[in-house]
Amino acid sequence: MNENILNDMEDLYAAQQRYGGKKRGDLKDSDFLFPETRSFPIVTPQDVADAISNYGRMSSKMSYDAFLRKLYNKCKSKGPEFVAALPEASKEKLGLKKS
């Protein structure tokens, strides 16, 4: 049984190291919200919600409003499915109309 748990944890770890089928180290700088530090990868629409939930871990002193605006601009550049992935509360805070 412990072997199964270990295998599950290894699979989870491996999945967490991949973004859109790529390893984090293989991503382009432009795939990150902050390319200069290669933090907050935005490769799949799920990464949008992940970025918002990890805002509190960010070492920068950027305000949440500024973070949301930066994330929204990244989402716009990635496509409509990324904008759609923004939580409704974030869309409201940004002043976006509901679709």
- Position 59 scores a pLDDT of 85
Burial of 88 (0-12, 13-18, 19+ CB in 10 A): exposed
Q: What is the mean pLDDT of each run of 10 residues along the chain (99 residues)?
A: 62 62 88 95 95 91 96 97 96 83
Dihedral angle sign, alpha carbons of residues 24, 27, 31, 36: positive
Tokens of 66: 């500024």
pTM: 0.78
Dihedral angle sign, alpha carbons of residues 34, 44, 48, 98: positive
- Position 1 scores a pLDDT of 53
